Structure 1
Amino acid sequence: MKPIRYVPFVAIITAIAAIIAYWVIYNNNLNYTNQEKEILNRFTSNFESVLTGQERAANLFYNQVIASDKIMDILKKVPERYGKEKDELRSQLYNELKDNYAKLAKQNFRQLHFHLSSGESFLRFHRPDKYGDNLFPVRYSIEKANKTLKMAKGFEEGRIFNGYRFVFPILDGENHYGSVEVSVSFLAISEAIKEIENVNTTVLFKKDIIDQKVFESEKSNYNLCKAAPDYVFDKSIEENQNEKISYQLFNQIASAHKEKFEKILKQKYATLNDILYDNQNYLLINIPIPNVKGKQIGNIFIFYKNDELKTIKESIYGKLSILILMYLIMFLSGIIIIKRDRKIIKSRELAKKSEEILTESDEIKSRLFEIITHDLRNHFNAVNGFLDLLNKRINLNDDKINKLYHGLNDAVELTNSLMDNLFVWSRMHIDKIETTKTRFEASSWLQKELTRFKTIMKRKEITLINNTKGTVYFNADVDMMKYIHQNILLNAIRYSSKKGKITTQIVDHGTHTTLTIKDEGKGMSNSEVSNILNQDSWSGSKIRNEIGLGLLITRKLIDYQNGKFQIESAKGVGTTVTVEIPK
């Protein structure tokens, strides 16, 4: 008998501690993941917004400048001219647009480049002396724009510079005269991102792409990345005064975390990484750069100092320390109770014959469970008192302490409700339940009961609506109604989604009074509702999985008062529970 009494107690408190620990760890991890997603989404949205802004500027330039009659008259003549005549048109076009190109350069646009429909370079404003080379083999965006006669856009490495390119087909009605490209440098994109948020940025390109496409004379525009030899830096970014600090810091971080950095570069999608460097936590956002064809050609990195994710990670230790302390208190209290109960069992065994022990063993077990749950309730009341003292003595203005305190308070409140159910269940089994009906004012009683679960609902962002109108009375057992309301409301909270809504109402119908609690949670099927309404016992693992102890006790307590218990529920819609008590 002694092991049977000791093992269940240890199992119960261990299960409770394990459930709370799982809940704490799960919520901490969920909070960390959600924060990660929010940061990553914010920066990828910023990046996309910058590109959208550059595209609008390029479209505006094309429509107002390139598509003007004066420029189009020159471009229409180019396909028909050769030799010196074509050179004269090139010079004419350059003179007409050089001032516009200077304005573009001030807005951080890097290139203005005209091409013939055959893919031949006609005029590079950034290198006017380089023309005549066929670009189709190395510049897919130019080939695409000239063959589809639609604008092509995206990141692409060129013969001289890299950049985000907008290639417009030059059209006059159905006539096609080639294409023009306006491109923006990564330096411009980097500066635009920094205008949105105070961060560091840098860009890496795959070395093999640069080797394949760039003119040999222009490869000096790039420097090798020491931390990743297969990648290179754009020299214009590296030497820019505003970008130099970001470039140097990135090199130091990447060199200190080479293995991790190599894994980051292999990612095919945007990632966020928490990195420790020089005793500082940095968040590093990696956004892979695809070219016009969708092939990855490099990575843009956004990084800055941030301890937010580290703080979320470390907060778990304090919560678990308090949980362990609670577990030890419960365990030691249980040992004291068990020692006392062993003496009780021993005295009963000496006082009664073996036959009486066998016939009354079930009653003894139930009484012992009643004693244990009664004493545990007293200990949890002491813990509640200790929490109230903490609330008065400790400054809860600190967000971390405030969250920790309310989380612990919720856990104790939920455990108290479990102890209440176990206590009532044990008294049911030894027929010690007595019904004492009294007439009491239900409106204020309901308001007081709802206050007990205020913090639990607040943490879950649940909206509570009390639709009770005027003064309403119950003719019922007050303690029983407390347990009934507590169990139904806790189930509504447990199965409500975050930011859900729970509605309560007490209505006097003359011959009877009803208590209704409605939630918008996940709901139940007809078979699940039927099990709750028809099951008479709580034994067997299958039943325990389908019916909670609290709901079974609730139904029994309603039966003691000759009341009625109704459940209306639908999957994905919610559940409405109605308790009817006769007057």
Structure 2
Amino acid sequence: MKIKLILISLTIIAIAYINLNYIKNQKIEEYLQRETEQYQMMYDVQYRQYKIKSQIIYDTIINKKQVVDIYKQIQAASKEKRAKLRKELYEITNYDYKQLEYTQLQQMHFHLPSNESFLRVHMVKKFGDNLTNIRATVAYTNKTHKKIDGLETGRSYSGYRFLFPINDENKNHLGSIEISFSVLAFTTEFIEQHKVLSNFHIKKENVDSKTWGNYKEKHYVKSPINGFYIEKNVLNKLTKYSSKNFDKIKTSKKLSSQLLNSLYKNKAISIYDKRTKIIKTFLPILHPISKKVIAILSIASDGGFVEDKIQNFYISFIIISLFVIALFSFIYREFKNQEQNTQLLQQNIKQQEIMQQQSKMASMGEMIGAIAHQWRQPLNEIGTGIQNLKYDYKDGNLNDEEFVKNFIDENKKTIKFMSKTIDDFRGFFRVDKKKKDFNIKQTTQSVIDMQSAQLKTHNITINITGDEFIYNGLQSEFQQVILNLINNAKDALVENNIENPTINIILDKNIISVQDNAGGIPKEIINRIFEPYFTTKEQGKGTGMGLYMSKMIIEDNMGAILSVKNKNNGAIFTIELNNI
């Protein structure tokens, strides 16, 4: 029997480890996916802003009669005439170019229909080179007479380039204009707007094949990601924050492998780096024509949420393991005592009594299986309380003797509440679950009493009104739902810093309403609050399971209805019982 109990306990602990690890990894994966989507959206928004800027510059500075008239003369002009036209075009546009430097404008580059560079306003002495094999976007615009935009590596730098065709009043194509913004400008704006570290990694083969002479050594340095470069001016910007910060966005060989596998699929990815405890998000930037990855935007953000989940996993696993060991040690001692008592029984004990003893041991084995399923939610509540100690410590509450005493008393009541529900564990997920009559108002009041000290800590007033009535069901599960609804209201009141925070519980015939004045639930999420793992609370302060479990208990186990709506500047959760 001892070996059997040890094997069973080890099996339960192993199952708990696998389940907890799966839940941890699932939550981390979901969080990382949200991080990826969030930064992709931020990138897209900023890119659209640059696109709008370039369109405004084109409409107000480039697409005007003076520029078009110069372009009309270029095609038939001699070399000397072209030089004069170039100077004239420079004089027309240079003032505006200088005035627009505050917008982080990097280049205004005019091209001929043959893709020959006619005028670089930012570098007036460099012209005449053919860009056909260097700048695919220039060739595209001159061939299709359509505008195009995207990141592209040029003769000296990489940048976000917005190409527009230049046409006369008869729609005859005369050439093209490029308006571009530097990678440095984009990176700097991204860092300052979103308070993260970021960098661009430009594909090595593009830099090697396109840049002028010594411009590669002058403007680029090798990236920590194999096969990519970083612009030196961006690197200098990052190191101004400190070399330690730049170290955060360096990528290990293992992470580089994950990254490259994702990039082969043109897929953005967020990876948690255990070494630095940083979340690193990588957004692939595609060439506007080839649609191949030509650069990566890397973003380093705080990994506190992931670190908390890992710590919570180990804490939860230790608690469950200790509980299982204690439980099976108790069962083993009980078994040994029973075995010793059995040996002292008289030889004339009836066979029926022996069979009853065997039935008792079999029932004990069934109870063990039920406990393994049913204790997950109460243990999660205790684990959440333990997790919040870190925040209470930061808030200085652990120096408050009354707070500590209340914390201990509340957890004792929770443990007592858990102990009380052991009798109901055996049938929680079974159809042969036994129900009993209980008083709704008294049961609700018992939950309020258990939470009263914590509510007083946050100056929250809670009222219960209405008549008493009897309901036939599972009392401990109903208590768990009321506890979840009160805690949900309390958290909303505290988070929104509501003056005169109040929770009202109203009993009206077969309807129980829990209402707060916390401002209500945003319309865009009110239909999702009963989904598993959905939470609006800060990282580490919510599991997203409380309301989901409450709805399951009310609707699946009690055959009632749990709903929510906004009313009177607050949220109101309603339980409709249908078998009073």
1:166-177, aligned counterparts within 5 Å? Answer: 166-171=162-167, 172-177=169-174
Q: Deviations over 1:262-300 (max 9, x none)?
A: 6535541333333466xx544333222222221112223
Does residue 118 of structure 1 match 2:114? yes
Letter in 2 for 1:63: D
Tell me which of 326, 338, 354 is aligned to 2:323.
326
User: In the TM superposition, what is the alpha-carbon distance from 1:43 to its structure 2 partner?
Assistant: 3.0
Does residue 63 of structure 1 match 2:59? yes
Question: In the superposition, relative to structure 1, how do residues 261 and 253 fare at CA in structure 2: closer, same or farther (>3 Å)?
Answer: farther
Letter in 2 for 1:147: K
Q: Deviations over 1:31-72 (max 9, x none)?
A: 433433343333333322322222121111111111123323
CA distance in 1, matches of 2:435, 2:247: 75
Tell me which of 105, 108, 116 is aligned to 1:109.
105
Q: Deviations over 1:387-425 (max 9, x none)?
A: 8xx99xx898248999x9999997986675354343999
Does residue 197 of structure 1 match 2:191? no
SS of residue matched to 1:341:
helix
Letter in 1 for 2:140: K
Tell me which of 301, 306, 310 is aligned to 2:307.
310
Letter in 2 for 1:54: Y
User: In the TM superposition, what is the alpha-carbon distance from 1:229 to its structure 2 partner?
Assistant: 6.5
Q: Indicate if the aligned counterparts of 1:200 and 1:246 stay in contact, CA closer than 8 A.
A: no
The TM-score, its normalising length taken from structure 2, stands at 0.65
SS of residue matched to 1:45:
helix
CA distance in 1, matches of 2:193, 2:53: 18
CA distance in 1, matches of 2:446, 2:348: 45
Question: In the superposition, relative to structure 1, how do residues 26 and 53 fare at CA in structure 2: closer, same or farther (>3 Å)?
Answer: same
1:316-355, aligned counterparts within 5 Å? Answer: 316-347=313-344, 350-354=347-351
Q: Indicate if the aligned counterparts of 1:112 and 1:181 stay in contact, CA closer than 8 A.
A: yes
1:139-154, aligned counterparts within 5 Å? Answer: 139-154=135-150
CA distance in 1, matches of 2:209, 2:233: 20
Question: In the superposition, relative to structure 1, how do residues 373 and 307 fare at CA in structure 2: closer, same or farther (>3 Å)?
Answer: closer
The corresponding residue for 2:474 is 484
SS of residue matched to 1:142:
helix
CA distance in 2, matches of 1:70, 1:471: 85
SS of residue matched to 1:301:
strand
Question: In the superposition, relative to structure 1, how do residues 343 and 184 fare at CA in structure 2: closer, same or farther (>3 Å)?
Answer: same
Tell me which of 44, 55, 69 is aligned to 1:73.
69
Question: In the superposition, relative to structure 1, how do residues 118 and 414 fare at CA in structure 2: closer, same or farther (>3 Å)?
Answer: farther
The corresponding residue for 1:529 is none
Q: Indicate if the aligned counterparts of 2:163 and 2:178 stay in contact, CA closer than 8 A.
A: yes
CA distance in 2, matches of 1:131, 1:371: 87
Tell me which of 96, 100, 106 is aligned to 1:100.
96
Does residue 365 of structure 1 match 2:359? yes
Q: Deviations over 1:509-565 (max 9, x none)?
A: xxxxx8999x9979xxxxxxxxxxxxxxxxxxxxxxxxxxx99xxx9xxxxxxxxx9
CA distance in 2, matches of 1:339, 1:59: 85
Tell me which of 192, 208, 213 is aligned to 1:211.
208
SS of residue matched to 1:132:
coil
The corresponding residue for 1:528 is none
CA distance in 2, matches of 1:79, 1:396: 72
User: In the TM superposition, what is the alpha-carbon distance from 1:160 to its structure 2 partner?
Assistant: 2.9
Letter in 2 for 1:49: V
Q: Which runs of 5+ in 2 are unaligned?
A: 399-403, 453-462, 490-504, 514-526, 532-551, 562-574
Question: In the superposition, relative to structure 1, how do residues 516 and 51 fare at CA in structure 2: closer, same or farther (>3 Å)?
Answer: closer
CA distance in 2, matches of 1:146, 1:103: 28
Q: Deviations over 1:6-39 (max 9, x none)?
A: 7887787667656655554444334433433343
Letter in 2 for 1:188: A
Q: Indicate if the aligned counterparts of 2:447 and 2:483 stay in contact, CA closer than 8 A.
A: no
Question: In the superposition, relative to structure 1, how do residues 299 and 434 fare at CA in structure 2: closer, same or farther (>3 Å)?
Answer: closer
Letter in 1 for 2:231: D
SS of residue matched to 2:474:
helix
The corresponding residue for 2:80 is 84
Letter in 1 for 2:234: I
What's the Cα RMSD here? 5.3
Question: In the superposition, relative to structure 1, how do residues 368 and 258 fare at CA in structure 2: closer, same or farther (>3 Å)?
Answer: closer
Q: Deviations over 1:138-168 (max 9, x none)?
A: 2121122223333200011122332110001
SS of residue matched to 1:155:
strand
Question: In the superposition, relative to structure 1, how do residues 191 and 178 fare at CA in structure 2: closer, same or farther (>3 Å)?
Answer: same
CA distance in 1, matches of 2:215, 2:38: 36
Letter in 1 for 2:132: F
Q: Indicate if the aligned counterparts of 1:152 and 1:168 stay in contact, CA closer than 8 A.
A: yes
CA distance in 1, matches of 2:97, 2:23: 55
Q: Indicate if the aligned counterparts of 2:447 and 2:482 stay in contact, CA closer than 8 A.
A: no
Does residue 182 of structure 1 match 2:172? no
Q: Deviations over 1:314-352 (max 9, x none)?
A: 332222222222222212211221122224444557232
User: In the TM superposition, what is the alpha-carbon distance from 1:313 to its structure 2 partner?
Assistant: 1.8
Question: In the superposition, relative to structure 1, how do residues 29 and 254 fare at CA in structure 2: closer, same or farther (>3 Å)?
Answer: closer
Tell me which of 148, 152, 155 is aligned to 1:156.
152
Q: Give the structure with higher Rg (CA).
A: 1
Letter in 2 for 1:365: S
The corresponding residue for 2:272 is 274
Q: Indicate if the aligned counterparts of 2:413 and 2:450 stay in contact, CA closer than 8 A.
A: no
CA distance in 1, matches of 2:483, 2:19: 15
Does residue 264 of structure 1 match 2:259? yes
Q: Indicate if the aligned counterparts of 1:168 and 1:181 stay in contact, CA closer than 8 A.
A: yes
Q: Deviations over 1:230-272 (max 9, x none)?
A: 333323334x4x3444695587568883454465355413333
User: In the TM superposition, what is the alpha-carbon distance from 1:577 to its structure 2 partner?
Assistant: 10
Tell me which of 416, 421, 424 is aligned to 1:417.
421
Question: In the superposition, relative to structure 1, how do residues 217 and 285 fare at CA in structure 2: closer, same or farther (>3 Å)?
Answer: same
Q: Indicate if the aligned counterparts of 1:115 and 1:122 stay in contact, CA closer than 8 A.
A: yes
CA distance in 1, matches of 2:313, 2:293: 38
User: In the TM superposition, what is the alpha-carbon distance from 1:84 to its structure 2 partner?
Assistant: 2.3
The corresponding residue for 1:397 is 392
CA distance in 2, matches of 1:41, 1:262: 21
CA distance in 1, matches of 2:261, 2:51: 28
The corresponding residue for 2:534 is none
Letter in 1 for 2:359: K
User: In the TM superposition, what is the alpha-carbon distance from 1:192 to its structure 2 partner?
Assistant: 0.5
Question: In the superposition, relative to structure 1, how do residues 112 and 263 fare at CA in structure 2: closer, same or farther (>3 Å)?
Answer: same
Letter in 2 for 1:37: Q
Question: In the superposition, relative to structure 1, how do residues 123 and 367 fare at CA in structure 2: closer, same or farther (>3 Å)?
Answer: closer
Letter in 1 for 2:139: E
Letter in 2 for 1:124: R
Letter in 2 for 1:191: T
SS of residue matched to 1:164:
strand
User: In the TM superposition, what is the alpha-carbon distance from 1:471 to its structure 2 partner?
Assistant: 2.5
SS of residue matched to 1:216:
coil
Question: In the superposition, relative to structure 1, how do residues 76 and 213 fare at CA in structure 2: closer, same or farther (>3 Å)?
Answer: same
The corresponding residue for 1:295 is 292
Residues matched between the structures, number: 480
The corresponding residue for 1:43 is 39
Q: Indicate if the aligned counterparts of 2:272 and 2:279 stay in contact, CA closer than 8 A.
A: yes
Question: In the superposition, relative to structure 1, how do residues 226 and 16 fare at CA in structure 2: closer, same or farther (>3 Å)?
Answer: closer
CA distance in 1, matches of 2:46, 2:366: 66
CA distance in 1, matches of 2:161, 2:242: 24
Q: Indicate if the aligned counterparts of 2:201 and 2:223 stay in contact, CA closer than 8 A.
A: no
Deviates more, 1:35-44 or 1:154-163: 35-44
Letter in 2 for 1:270: A
Question: In the superposition, relative to structure 1, how do residues 75 and 408 fare at CA in structure 2: closer, same or farther (>3 Å)?
Answer: farther
